[in-house]
């Protein structure tokens, strides 16, 4: 492991306290937890093929989250490519608990509770929190997942497409583009770019990239993003602010800035003691915030705060019209279809990997010619064009498996019920 920067350790030891910081350091001696989040839509659809995790331990704050005992080769699991699950760090799944409590508040007619009909994930790549949002939000809620960096937006589009939900758009814009377009949302997730201190155990490159100057740049950029997001938030709407870092400049001090700058209030999320989630580490800051620390929580680092824009929340409606500012949608060669609209051919594990590598297939003689959906364990992987002697591969080239090492046997993560 790369050595932790001295300025980081001195500051963080003082911030966390000796006992908590000692547990954090000890976490580097242990492997990072491996966790996945199931796609509830894919678990039950697909011609009667219901699936479940073979050997997983539930993540307490996420209904579909599971810890795995070891890290398998996800790339070689066709069900991963079919969007049946997403490999996600456990702390990031806390968003599911936040959304669950929001929904319960609305169902129980609590004051200020709303049912979001429009939502925005402003810094969404690679798509973990966006796919969680899409699963947890009401089916008729229109979700925009945005990523300003073009190549990262392409990765986001791939993951969103594989997740397979309706009412989900991917855009490639800067936050200010949404502000200029005067778009409004009931819920905005600002998982802002940060100095990455909470990822040091999982990703050594974040250690090498860290510096006090980077922290300074991050908190200033974060405020610019929040300012654009706040202008797009409906009165009574919710803004979820999150980072994967520890320092208070990017966390509590930014929340304090939001409260001073805007007509905002911080909302409490009910948590259980056994989740070992840490609250504020800034002296004198009493607002409810939620901090995950490796060695204390069974996760990597994360900071979350839920804010509400004061005001009376009108019944949210979607309004269609034109805008002088164009948002860039990220989409290419999309074929709209419904489950069962095309004939389907089930593949063996060997043929599923061939398909995911972009190779042509030979299907059985009873499969009709033309467009055919190919599947593994009842879950659709993509399409081929069957011409009889062979089936030409239509799997998008950027998504294809590129490794030449192909396992001889399938090591499943999910099983049929």
pLDDT at position 49, please? 73
Is residue 48 one of the residues assigned to a domain? yes
Domain edge (last residue) among 309, 329, 361 = 309
**Where among 258, 282, 309 does a domain terminate?**
309
Instruction: With H, G, I as helix, E, B as strand and everything else as coil, classify residue 193.
Output: coil
Determine if residue 370 is left, alpha or beta; phi over 0 gives left, psi from -120 to 50 gives alpha, anything else beta. Answer: left
C-alpha dist (Å) from residue 216 to 3, 240, 369, 373: 21, 22, 60, 50
127 and 275 housed in the same domain? yes
Question: Do residues 218 and 193 lie in contact, with contact meaning Cβ atoms separated by under 8 Å?
Answer: yes
CATH of the domain at 193: 3.40.50.150
Q: Is 327 a member of any domain?
A: no
Strand partners, 171: 146, 329
CA dihedral (373, 35, 353, 399) positive or negative = positive
Are 305 and 348 contained in the same domain?
Answer: no
Record the pTM. Answer: 0.94
Query: How many domains are contained in the chain?
Result: 2
Q: Would 1 be classed as within a structural domain?
A: no
**82 and 125 assigned to the same domain:** yes
- Residue 408 in any domain: the answer is no
Do 119 and 241 belong together in one domain?
yes
pLDDT recorded at residue 333: 46
Report pLDDT for 328.
67
What confidence score (pLDDT) does residue 382 get? 97
Establish if 40 belongs to a structural domain: yes
Contact indicator for 39, 83 with CB cutoff of 8 Å: yes
Shared-domain flag, residues 168 and 293 = yes
CB under 8 Å to 260, separation ≥6 — which residues? none
Pick the closest to residue 300 from 189, 204, 194, 202 (CA basis). 202
Contacts of 323 (CB under 8 A, 6+ apart): 181, 182, 183
Range of the domain at 179: 6-309
In this structure, the answer to whether residues 144 and 247 fall within a common structural domain is: yes
Q: What is the pLDDT of residue 404?
A: 80
Among residues 242, 244, 156, the alpha carbon closest in space to that of 198 is found at 244
Q: Which residues of 57-82 are buried (b: 16+ CB within 10 A; e: fewer)?
A: eebbbbebbbbbeeebebebbbbbbb
Is residue 250 domain-shared with residue 107, that is, in the same domain?
Answer: yes
In a 13 Å sphere around the CA of 184, the CA atoms on its Cβ side amount to: 14
Nearest Cα to Cα of residue 266 among 238, 297, 235, 293: 238
245, 376: one domain: no
CA 270, 273, 274, 279 torsion-angle sign: positive
Report residues of the chain scoring pLDDT below 50: 315, 319-324, 332-337
Q: Is residue 265 part of a domain?
A: yes
Radius of gyration, CA atoms only, the chain: 22
| Contact predicate 362/333, CB 8 Å | no
Q: What is the pLDDT of residue 329?
A: 67
Strand pairing of 302-309 and 290-292? antiparallel
Domain boundary among 262, 285, 309: 309
In a domain, 338, yes or no: no
Write down the residue that tokens 């824009």 correspond to: 309
For 53, the 3-state DSSP assignment is strand
The verdict on 37 and 140 lying in the same domain is yes
Q: Are residues 192 and 48 in the same domain?
A: yes
**CATH no. for residue 393?**
2.30.130.60
Residue 329 lies in a domain: no
Assess whether 57 and 114 both reside in one domain. Answer: yes
Place of tokens 């190919």: 374
Query: Which pLDDT value is given to residue 93?
Result: 99
Residue 233 structure tokens: 């938030």
In 137-174, which ranges are continuous DSSP H helix? 150-163
Residues 140, 241 within the same domain: yes
């Amino acid at each position: 492991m790369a050595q932790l920067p001295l300025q980081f350790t001195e500051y963080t030891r003082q911030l966390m306290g000796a006992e908590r910081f000692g547990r954090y350091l000890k976490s580097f001696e242990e492997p990072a937890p491996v966790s996945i989040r199931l796609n509830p839509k894919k678990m039950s659809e697909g011609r009667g093929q219901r699936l479940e995790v073979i050997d997983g331990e539930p993540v307490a704050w996420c209904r579909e989250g599971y810890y795995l005992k070891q890290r398998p080769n996800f790339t070689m699991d066709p069900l991963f490519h079919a969007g049946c699950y997403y490999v996600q760090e456990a702390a990031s799944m806390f968003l599911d608990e936040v959304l669950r409590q929001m929904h319960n508040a609305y169902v129980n007619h609590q004051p200020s509770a709303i049912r979001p009909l429009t939502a925005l994930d402003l810094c969404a790549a690679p798509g973990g929190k966006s796919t969680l949002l899409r699963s947890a939000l009401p089916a008729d809620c229109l979700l925009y997942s945005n990523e300003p960096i073009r190549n990262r937006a392409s990765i986001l589009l791939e993951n969103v497409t594989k997740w397979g939900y309706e009412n989900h758009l991917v855009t490639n814009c800067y936050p200010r583009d949404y502000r200029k377009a005067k778009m409004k949302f009931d819920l905005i997730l600002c998982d802002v770019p940060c100095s990455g201190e909470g990822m040091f155990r999982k990703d050594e490159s974040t250690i090498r990239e860290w510096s006090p100057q980077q922290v300074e740049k991050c908190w200033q950029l974060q405020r610019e993003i929040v300012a654009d997001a706040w202008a797009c938030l409906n009165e009574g709407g919710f803004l979820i602010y999150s980072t994967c870092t520890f320092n208070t400049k990017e966390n509590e001090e930014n929340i304090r800035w939001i409260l001073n700058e805007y007509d905002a209030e911080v909302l409490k999320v009910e948590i259980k003691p056994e989740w070992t989630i840490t609250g504020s580490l800034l002296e004198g800051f009493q607002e409810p915030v939620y901090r995950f620390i490796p060695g204390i929580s069974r996760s990597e680092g994360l900071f979350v705060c839920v804010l509400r824009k004061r005001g009376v929340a009108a019944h949210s409606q979607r309004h269609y019209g034109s805008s002088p500012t164009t948002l860039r949608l990220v989409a290419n060669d999309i074929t709209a279809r419904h489950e069962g609209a095309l004939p389907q051919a089930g593949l063996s594990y060997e043929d599923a990997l061939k398909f995911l590598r972009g190779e042509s297939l030979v299907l059985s003689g009873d499969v009709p010619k033309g467009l055919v959906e190919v599947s593994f364990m009842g879950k659709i992987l993509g399409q081929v064009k069957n011409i009889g002697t062979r089936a030409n591969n239509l799997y998008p080239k950027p998504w294809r498996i590129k490794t030449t090492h192909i396992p001889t046997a399938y090591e499943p993560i999910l099983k049929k019920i």
